[in-house]
Every structure is written in C-alpha cells, then in structure tokens.
Chains A and B, each alone.
Chain A
Amino acid sequence: MRGFHLIQLIIMLLLGSQTLFARIVISGTVTDKSGEPLPAIVSVLVGRSVKGFGNADENGKYSISFSTDADSVTVKASIMGFSSSLKTVPSQTRQLDFIMEESDILLKEVSVVAEKITQKGDTLNFRVGAYKDENDRVIGDVIKKMPGLEVSDNGSISFNGKTIKNFYVEDMDLLQGRYGIATNNISANDVASIQVYQNHQPVRALKDWSPSEDVTINLKLKSSAKGVFTMTGMGGIGYKPMLWAGEATGMYFGKKGQSITTYKGNNSGDNVAAEQENLTGDGGLQFFNQAPLGVVSPGTPGVKQKRYMRNRSNAVSTSNILKLDSLSTLSVSLSYIDDILSNEGSSVTEQYLPDGAYRTMSQTVETKSYVHKLSGGAVYKKNTDRIYAVNRLDVNASWNKCDGINSLTTDFSSINQVVNQHLDNPSFSISDKADLIFNSGANAWNLSFGAGWNHRPQKLSVSPASILSDKPENDVVSQNYTSDDFRGQAEIGYFMKFGQLTIKTFIFGNVDIESVKSDLDGLDLSDFNAVNRYSFGKAEGGGEARIGYPIKNSYFEVTLPISYNGQWLRDKKAAGRNREWNYLCFNPAVKYTYRLGKSWCGLNASYYKIRDNSDRAQSGVVMTDYLTFRESFVDHTLVDKSLYVTAEYHYSNAMAQLFANASASWRRSSCNTMVGYEYDGIATVKYALEHPYVSNRYGASVNVSKGMDFWESTLKLTGNCSLYKSMQLINSQPVDYKSQYWSANLVYSAMPATWMGMALGAAYGENKSFTEVNKDAAMSGRQCTGRLDLNFFPVKRLILNVAFEENYTNLTEAGRHTWFGDARITYKAGRFDWELEANNIFNRKVFSRVNYTDMNIYRSTYRLRPFNVMLKVRFNVF
C-alpha cells in the first residue's frame, strides 16, 4: 500500500502538480442551527475542481490538508437533508465553521437509458419521446407507431386486439368516447406518455365484482401542458380549384377541469366530421328504427377521402369536464357540423343470376350531400368504491339532404336515362340513461333506467317517373317514410358473494315501439299496396343470473337470462292485421378466461333464439332507392337460432416491446326466413320468404407487433381470413354460395437517422364469392396497396415529407395500378409553422375499386381531385 501512495506521489510530480506548493490546512466544525454536530462532508474547490476533502467526525470536526497556487478557495460542506453551504476564503491555513440549514436536496433529473415501455401491474407506459419524430404533430401520429397499438381508418384505437373502451386525458373522461378530438388536436409535444390500462374496470364499485378484459387509454401530459390555457390556429390557401382551410383550437387541462374547443373548416377534402364520432359506443341509447331511403351512390373507394371528395366543411365542437369533488365529475359537450360533400364517378354493377351468368347495370353518378348535425350531451358521474352514479343525457338533431344525378344503361334493356334523386333525411333523437350501483362489500345493488325517442321523417324523390313505370302518374316518384322509435329500459340487480362465487341477479324490463308511416306516390301500383301505417312494439320482462367463479388463474362465468317477450302489430289501415305474439326466451352464454403472466386467453360461447315479427308488419312496398324496392311476403315469425363461439389469445411483453394476439370465431345461424332478390327490369325487389337455411361464418385473425431498438423501429403484421357459407334467393331460386376472404397487412415505421424518419405500409387482400355453378368461372378480387412515407429533417427547423402510394386492383380493364404522390415542406419559425403541401403530384384523374356483396360485383370509378398545392400556417396564439 505504501508503495502505491509513493507511485501516486510520483505521478503527481510527473504531472507537475500542486504538491510543490505549501500545504494548507482548513479545519473547523459543522453544526446545524441548534449547534448539534453534523457528520458532513467538506470539500475544498478551486473553480469546480475538488482539491481536497474530508469527513466531519461525530463531533462535527473536520480538517482538510491540501495544496494550491490559487489565491482563494471555496470550501463546501454538504450532507443529506441540509442545503450545501459554500464559503470562499483566501488560500491559507485557517479555522472555518459551518452552520447548516435544513433543506431537501433537489437534483437535476437525468435519464440516459429511458425505457420506451414500462409496465407496472396491468398498466403500460409508452414514452412518447421514444416514438416521436419531428414529423409527428398531434398525438394520434405517434400512437400509430407504438407497438401493440392500432389506429383504424375511422380513428378508433385498439390495443393488442382489443378495442379500447375508454379514453382519458389525465385520468378524466373529457371526451366521452369522441376521442378523435384528442388524438387529432392534442400536440404530441404536450404528452409525456400514453398509458394503457389493461383489464381496466372503470367502475370502482365493481372492482371486486367483475374482472374486466377492457382496455383504457390515458394521456399523461407533461407538466408544462397542465394548468395553462393554450390556443392554436391554422390558416391555409391553395389551388386548384381555389382551396382554403382554417382551424382554431383552445385547450385547458387543469386539476379541477378540462376543456377542448375546436373549429375546423376546409374545402380541400379533409374530413372534419370524423373526429366527432363516438368511438367507444357508450353514447346514448341505441335506436333501431329504420331509415331505409337513400340516393344511389358508389361506396367508399378505399383511398383517403382527401383524394376524391369535393367538400365545403365546417365543424365546431366544445368538450368540457368539471371535477365537482375528487370522485365526481360533470361533462358537457356540444358540436355542430355543416358539410357539403360532392362525389363524382361511375359504377358497374354485375348482378348474379341463378344460371351462373351476370346482368350488368352501368351508371355515372354525381351526388351532393348537405349535412347539418347538432349534437349535445351532459354526463354526471360519481365514481367511489361504494357508490357509482351516472346520468347521461344525449340530444342529436340533423337536417341532411342529398341530391343525386345518375345516368343509367344496362346490358339487358335499351334504357339510357338520366335519373334525378333528392332525399330529405332529417333526424331528431333524445335519450337519457341513469345507472346507480351501491356496493357494500358483501353485496351490491344496481339500478339502471333509460328512455329515449328517435324521429326520422325521410322523403325520396325520383324523376323522371318513366324510368320506373310505363304508366307514371306524375313526373316525379316520391317515397315518404317516417319512423318514430320510443324506447324504455329498466333493470334492477342484486349481487351476492358466497366465498369465491359471485352471483349477480337482475330483473329487467324493456319496451321498444316503432311507428311507421310510408307512402309511395307517382306510380301506378294497382297490384301493390304502396302505403304503410302501423306501429310495431316489443316488450320483454325477465330475470337473469350471472354466476362467476375464479379458479386459480381462471375465471368462469355463465349467464342465464330468461324472459317473456311480447310483440304486437297495430295496423292503422287494416285493423284486421292486428296481432300479438308472446314467447318465452332463454339465451345463455358462457365465458372463460385464463390469465397467466404475460398471456391471457378467452373462450366465449353464446346461444340465442330470436323470434321477430317486424318484417311482417310492413305490408306495403317501399322504394329504398330508385333501383331497389322492398316488400315483405312473410306471414310467419322469423326465427333465427344462432350459436356464436369465439376464442382469443393475447400475449404482451412490454420489456421486449412484443405484442401478439390471435382470435378465431364461428357463428352458426339457422333461420327460417330467407332474403331474396327479384329482378324486375332495372329494379331489384328485395323480399323475404319462408325458406329455412343454415349459414356458417368462420373467421380468424393474427396480429403481431414488435418495437425494435434497431433504427428505433416498429413492425406490425396482421392477417385475416374468413369463410361464409350461406344461401340466397335469386329470382325465387335458392342458391348456395360461399364468400371467402383473406388479407395480410404490414406496417413498418423507423428512424434510420436523426435526420430521417420513414413509414412503409403494404396490404394485400383477396376475396371471392361463388356458387357451385360458377365455382371455376368466378373471379377473385385482388387488391393491393403500398405506401412509403419518407421524412427528412436536414436542419432542426425544416421537415421534408414525400409519400408514394400504389393501389392495385385486378378486376378492372383499365387503371389497375394507380400511383399517388404527395409532398410537404414544413418550416418552423418561432411560433409559426409554415407548410407547403402538394397533393396528387402525378395528377391521377380517376380511381377504380371492385367490391363483392353477397354474389354481386360492384366496380366503381371515382373522379379524383386534381393535382393541388396548399400553403398553410400553423401558429400558437398563446
């Protein structure tokens, strides 16, 4: 050891150290304010460099010997629980005492190996910074790149195969299911982490009663985003045609309350209404009254709406939540959408005939929809361990219209006609739901009530009438269809525990009355009844027992509902048709879950036998669009017996950023009534006939998602397949048919360098519908999509984004491949972000898509927005 010190001395001498200078000794005592000695550590610093140090002994005494050429030194005494004390003194031997003041040390927090995902129990924390690049503006952009999290086209989020049930911001349910407002507006820079609550039971009073497989997402905000009101805006202009866009968003996230208010408007094709949709399905009462009338228009093409929709959209919404106390909240929301959506294109419909041939109808289509929708809601919620009370009021009003101009030709007639359509499609609904749960630990009570009304007066006008009849009565054929639905539901539950066994019992009563008035004017329908005036009601009352039993890591639950179901028809035109039907119903279900560590699996089986007379209520013909008429020839009760079985497996390893799930399902349905199509000229008459048949639907899906440290990348793979075997009536002949479908999907996002990010998406799908007759001749529809996004950040303020997209479809003669290109340059200057974007760089004019529905094939061609350029400026107001 002595030798070791000698070497140190030699090294110091070699380094020309300060040992050449005289030794200085600083000594003294360290005490607290009351004079108690402190065993502090005392060090001598020259600048920031420690030259000597020593520990104070139990009497608080210290002594430090050192050498220096500096004129003065700083002596620092420090100990946990006290603030460091510094004294600068001349470099000479001296006495120096310290009196320390109590204080907690607050260190500069640093983490050099921060985890991307951390797990605590069932909660996963996805660190936003680990997945975000410069190109990500709102939090929805980052969620898409996180392994295990999927964002569907409509904006709904799922985690490892489970669609999320709740979306919170700082553990508050601000948006009540309309969480697209959060994902599309909250800045990615304001969110610290995305928390995923697995097996989340949002009702505290039910925590010990119902294990849950539900998933909730919570946005954990950065402290800088909390308690401050922020307002951001966007304005943009472009060409061609003349384009404009504007946005304004105000947000506040405080401890006592939260608020988001947004305005979005544009005529550049961006869908501003989508984010207002309730994505968790826990809105007001569901109404089942029909609004069957529509304008003939091609379905959605499968490319972004921005590519084909001509619009003029305005949407404003406000969502607010106020914490009344630590466990009670009041939420109020209001939104208004004013949209004009125009769509142009053409379609070819191939209708299958029983002999294996197809008949073809070709149309050019121009539609213009006017959407006005006002929605409001208020929710009061008290959520304690003993009491859960919630009341939800929802009011929706819309006054929508749609105009359509179609030009029709067929291969089975000489028709070549322009058809004008106009649809008035207003709607009003109001509903209120209340739930009360009282949990005393040993047992619990549950009371639920709900009531609502939905009014839908539709009117469809078609001209010229000659297209539908050789003997038209007017120039215009008009169909009125007004339906009113009144619903009421009540339920009382009592929960008991016997050891590990839980038994939940319910008594329930539901009533649903639909009142319909319909008239078809302008056609000579002497052979048919064209008027409907009736009300059809359903009421049920019964009891349900739900028995749950946990065995080790398994949970077994059986549900045994038994009810008495009454249905009645009151025909106001023909009192002779008035009838009543009464049934005893038993629809059992079983559920089994097994949970172990990183995996869980579930098995569900349910059986139900539905008896429904609503189809026989409507005796008159209804024109649902100018090509389709609906008529019921049924005079018997529809009986549908279904068995539905699902199996699912989920694996989640947060540390390895690996998430996987697989599911399989089988639904066997045995029904005594078959839906059929009769072709009468251009019209398709959809009707129901008594003809028993069995259908089977098999489905399977696999999802794997993995985050990797290599290039900070995320890989998501999805596979789906399904087979549907069923029967259809075509021109009165029953035809067995099969529909099969499979698809595979890949998404890869990565940050190969600090100056670059990328995302690659590829999807392939194949579907085919066929009968025994045309099994070999039937064509498979094959569709393929690929998209590559490249983002470059050459300097901190500049972002360059280029995207290429290829769409392939095999069943079109021309335009099988459609290439799209988009580019954007963003320059950040202080509080302003300037964006110059170019859309549809290759100036594609049309896009084709082929769809199968049952046995029919639809080929649609959409006219696209031309190449256009937009300049936008985004800014923070405060």
Chain B
Amino acid sequence: MKKLIKLLFITIVAISGIDCHAQRKDTDAKISHYNISRCRDRKSIGDASIRILYAFNAENIRDKSTWIDEGQLKIGRGITQYSSHFEEVNEDSVAIWLNTHSKSSAWPPARWLRGHRPDHWIEYQYSNIHIIDNTLEEYATMPRAIETDNLKYSETLPLQEWSISDETEEICGYSCQKAICHWRGRDYVAWFAADIPVSAGPWKFGGLPGLIMKIADSTNTYSWEATEVKNGTFPIYKPRGDKYKESTREKVQELQRKLNENYFKTTGTEVIQYKTGQLLTSRKHPYSQLELE
C-alpha cells in the first residue's frame, strides 16, 4: 500500500511539476582553490559529436542563477561523459586567460562560475562520470581543505529497470515518452526522446530507447531537465588519473555524505570564531544523498 501511495505521489509530482524541496547548495563546503594545472594541462581523450545540457535542480528553468549546476552529457563513439558545464566554461575561460597571459604568475581571483551559490561545492557538480563500454568511472573532486583527497572508482554500468507508459510531453523541442523506475533507494520519473537514439542520460541514468531529457526523483530532491541539444565537436576532458586516489563507490559516497552533513568536522578544519572564541561547527544541514543504497 505504501508503494502504491508512493507511485501515485510520483505521478502527481510529475504531472503538477511541484518543486517540493530541491537540494540546495546549503553545505559549508566551498569549492577547492584554483587548480591551474588542471586548466593548463587539460588533454582531450576524444571528441563527442552530441552535447546535451541539463538544468540540475533548477528553481526556474529560464534563470540559470537558480540552478545548482548546468550538467552536460557528451556522447561520442564508444564513450559518454557527464560533467558540469558551468565548471567547464570556467576552465575554458581560465585556460584562455592563461594562454593570453602566459607571462603572468597570478590569475584572476574571480571565476567564470555561475548558478545558485557558485562558490559552494556539491558532489553532483564536482564529479566526472565516464562510461566506456560497460564500465562506469567516477572522478570525485573534493572541496576546499581536502582537495588533495580527490577520489575515483569504477563500477559496472548500473542499469535501471524501466517501465514505459504511453504518456508524452514535449521537452526542449522533443516529444518525450514517460518511464518510471526504482533505483538505489529512490523512485524516478523520466522522460525520454525516442527521436534521439541514444540510450543515455544525465548522471548515471540511461538504458531507455532514447535520450533521457528530464528526470526527477519522487521527492524532487534531484532533478535534471534538458535545455540544449547540439551537434558539433566537443572535446572530452578526462581528469588526470594520478591526481585521484583509487577508492570504491561506497567509500566515496560516505565521504561525500559526511562533507555535506558536517564539513568542518569531516575535513578537520577547526575554525575559531573571532568574536565568540567558539569553535565553528557546521550547521545541521538536511541532507539526503542521491544514491541511498
């Protein structure tokens, strides 16, 4: 009965588009300091011929300042990458800046980042996901204070078990069909475009007979919606493997959860408040990880 109620709730949310309580960047974790060498030494491992941009956790799809991130899905032959487009634009700008100011030993303090609280860290923005054949690799970039503890892991490409319904909706100029699934502790409603014959989607989602254009979990804590579909040549940058320690999904997600819940304690950065002399501890943040299992 509980499941039935949950399913009905998914349907209601999907129909009404109610924004319940989207995950905000309300942690104390800030993005790491400039990684100049990452911008300067970026090497493309191949090119994608299609790029799809997604609004991640958007309050208003028309206003990028209300988004947590702009995700990008790059699809090439034999390789698919999901990463942050906001971050890539920033890295492009830094790379161009370094190129045009090659003699400079400093760099601009301001970044070309945007979105809701652009200086705050969230794992769903600062993770690179590569899918080659049947293997998924995640490169997890950590926030300030533990930026040297970047981690990576690989797992077999997780497949969601989808049920397709006849419902359709137009998203980003494409007619999309509805599909639902339960995956790693959450229920999802997805809308896929059969006219885009790519079995992929944002984050780790895929496995439908068309590209996932929109997906949200039943609590609307996590959501993606496509905002741009583009043909072209898009270089796929892979983070330098030697800068990321080998780990497992469980360990990475545990660390990410702790960083969200209590950043100062997790990173061991004790900050004493100037006025009160008290130790600064993270506020209690309501946090619910995307992958619960």
**Which residues of A are interface residues toward B (Cβ below 8 A)?**
1, 3-4, 7-8, 10-11, 41-43, 45, 48-53, 55, 76, 78-81, 84, 104-115, 119-122, 199, 500, 550, 552-553, 595-598, 655, 709
In the bound complex, how far is the Cα of B106 from the Cα of A552, in angstroms?
Answer: 6
Q: Which residues of B contact A106 (CB under 8 A)?
A: 231
Known: A110-B174, A113-B55, A553-B101. A655 touches B209 (CB 8 A): no
Cβ contacts under 8 Å, A120 to chain B: 92-93, 96
CB atoms of A53 and B209 under 8 A apart: yes
The B234-267 residues at the A interface (CB cut-off 8 A) are: none
CB within 8 A of A79: which of B49, B112, B197? B197
A7 in contact with B197 given A81-B77, A108-B174, A655-B114 (CB within 8 Å): no
- Whether a CB of chain A sits under 8 angstroms from the CB of B172 is yes
Query: Which one of B38-46, B60-68, B280-288 contacts A?
Result: B60-68
Question: B227 and A112: CB pair below 8 A?
Answer: yes
Known A119-B93, A550-B104, A553-B101: A8·B172 in contact at CB below 8 Å: no
**Chain A residues with CB under 8 A of B50:** 105, 107
A122 adjacent to B100 (CB under 8 Å): yes
Q: Which of A55, A107, A655 is close to B229, meaning CB atoms less than 8 Å apart?
A: A107
What is the chain A residue whose CB lies nearest that of B227? A113
- Collect the chain B residues with CB atoms within 8 Å of residue A42's CB: 209
How many angstroms between the C-alpha atoms of A104 and B166 in the bound complex? Answer: 29
Per the bound structure, the CA–CA distance linking A3 and B63 in Å amounts to 40
* B216 contacts chain A at the CB level, 8 A cutoff: no
> In angstroms, how far is the closest chain A Cβ from the Cβ of B258?
29
Quick one: given A55-B199, A550-B103, A552-B106, are A108 and B209 in contact (CB under 8 Å)? no
Ranked 10 nearest A-B pairs via Cβ: A78-B197, A597-B108, A121-B96, A110-B173, A43-B209, A597-B110, A53-B209, A111-B228, A113-B227, A41-B199
Report chain A residues within 8 Å CB of B290.
none
Bitwise interface map of B from 166 to 198 toward A, beta carbon under 8 Å scored 1, else 0: 101000111101001010000000000011111
CA A76 – CA B194 in complex, angstroms?
10
B229:A1 contact, CB within 8 angstroms:
no
* Chain B residues whose CB sits within 8 angstroms of the CB of A655 once the complex forms: 112, 114
Partner of A50, one of B61, B62, B209: B209
Q: Find out whether the CB atom of B198 lies under 8 angstroms from the CB atom of A80.
A: yes
Closest B residue to A83 using CB positions: B197
A192 CB to nearest chain B CB (Å): 14
Query: When chains A and B are docked, how far (Å) is the Cα of A108 from the Cα of B195?
Result: 9
The reply to whether A113 and B64 form a contact with Cβ atoms under 8 Å apart is yes
B7 neighbours in A (Cβ, 8 Å):
4, 7-8, 11
Nearest CB of chain A from residue B292's CB, rounded to whole Å? 14
A43 to B101, CA, bound (A): 52
Q: Given A7-B3, A553-B106, 20 other A-B contacts at CB below 8 A?
A: A3-B3, A4-B182, A43-B210, A48-B168, A48-B194, A50-B177, A53-B208, A55-B199, A76-B209, A80-B75, A84-B197, A104-B49, A106-B231, A107-B229, A107-B231, A110-B174, A113-B228, A115-B64, A500-B103, A598-B110
Task: Sample 22 A-B pairs with CB under 8 A, ordered by A number.
Answer: A1-B182, A41-B209, A45-B194, A49-B166, A49-B168, A49-B177, A50-B164, A50-B194, A50-B210, A51-B164, A79-B197, A80-B78, A108-B173, A109-B230, A110-B173, A111-B228, A120-B93, A121-B100, A199-B100, A550-B104, A553-B101, A596-B110
C-alpha spacing A278/B172, complex, angstroms: 45
> Are A55 and B207 neighbours in the complex by a CB distance under 8 Å?
yes
Q: Is the Cβ of B228 less than 8 Å from the Cβ of A110?
A: yes
B196: min CB distance to chain A, Å: 6
Inter-chain contact A709/B63, CB cutoff 8 Å: yes
Known A-B contacts A105-B49, A112-B172, A596-B109; the reply to A8 vs B163 at CB < 8 A is yes
Task: Please name the residue on chain A nearest to B192 by beta carbon.
Answer: A50
Q: A1-B182, A553-B104 are in contact. Are A119 and B231 (CB under 8 A)?
A: no
Give the size of the chain B interface in residues (CB under 8 angstroms): 57
Is B4 at the interface (CB under 8 A from chain A)? yes
B108 contact from A79, A105, A596, Cβ within 8 A: A596
Q: Report B-chain residues with C-beta under 8 Å of the C-beta of A49.
A: 166, 168, 177
C-beta contact mask, B94-105 vs A, less than 8 Å → 1, else 0?
Answer: 001101110111
Collect the chain B residues with CB atoms within 8 Å of residue A113's CB.
55, 61-62, 64, 227-228
Q: Which residues of A contact B92 (CB under 8 A)?
A: 120
With beta carbons under 8 angstroms apart, the residue of A53, A78, A80, A112 that contacts B228 is A112
Q: A4's contact among B3, B93, B168, by CB below 8 Å, is which?
A: B3
Expressed in whole angstroms, the Cα–Cα distance for A81 and B109 within the complex equals 42
Check B227 against A111 for contact (C-beta < 8 Å): yes
Q: Which residues of A contact B105 (CB under 8 A)?
A: 552
The CA-CA distance from A416 to B205 in the complex, in Å, is 93
A662 and B168 alpha carbons, distance in the complex (Å): 54
Task: Provide the bound-state CA to CA distance between A384 and B229, in Å.
Answer: 36
Tell me which residues across on chain A come within 8 A of B62, comparing CB atoms: 113, 709
Nearest to B103 among chain A residues (CB) is A550
For A112, the chain B residues whose CB sits under 8 A away are: 61, 172-173, 227-228
Fill in one digit per residue for B206-238: 1 if any A CB lies within 8 Å of its CB, else 0: 011110000000000000000111110000000
Interface centre among A80, A84, A709, by most chain B C-beta atoms within 10 angstroms, is: A80
A4–B3 CA distance with the chains assembled, in angstroms: 7
CB-defined contacts of B166 to chain A, threshold 8 Å: 49
Q: For B93, B108, B199, which residue has the most chain A Cβ atoms within 10 angstroms? A: B199
Give A23 Cβ to nearest chain B Cβ, in Å.
15
Q: Are the C-beta atoms of A552 and B61 separated by less than 8 Å?
A: no
Complex Cα distance, B209 from A610, in Å, reads 79
> Does A110 lie within 8 Å of B4, measured CB to CB?
no
Closest to A598 in B: B110
**Would you call A121 and B194 a contact (CB within 8 A)?**
no
- Minimum CB–CB distance from A554 to chain B (whole Å) comes to 9
How distant is the Cα of A412 from the Cα of B145 in the complex, in angstroms? 85
Cα–Cα distance between A41 and B110 once the two chains are bound (Å): 45
A-chain residues with CB within 8 Å of residue B164 when the two chains form the complex: 50-53
Are the CB atoms of B112 and A119 closer together than 8 Å? yes
For A122, list chain B residues within 8 Å (CB): 96, 100
Closest to A64 in B: B209
A8 cross-chain contacts in B, Cβ below 8 A: 7, 163, 180
- Taking the closest CB of chain A, its distance from the CB of B112, in whole angstroms, is 7
A45 nearest in chain B by CB position:
B194
Residues of A within 8 A of B168 (CB): 48-49
Complex interface: chain B residues within 8 A of A45 (CB): 194
Interface residues of B in 69-109 (CB under 8 A from A): 75-78, 92-93, 96-97, 99-101, 103-106, 108-109
Pair B197/A76 contact, Cβ less than 8 Å: yes
Q: Which residues of B contact A84 (CB under 8 A)?
A: 197
Chain A residue with Cβ nearest B167? A49
Which residues of chain B come closer than 8 Å to A48, judged between CB atoms?
Answer: 168, 175, 194
A108 CB contacts on chain B under 8 angstroms: 173-174, 195, 229
Residue among B100, B108, B194 making CB contact with A598, cutoff 8 Å: B108
Looking at the assembled complex, report how far the CB atom of B185 sits from the nearest CB atom of chain A, in whole angstroms: 11
A598: chain B residues within 8 A (beta carbon): 108, 110
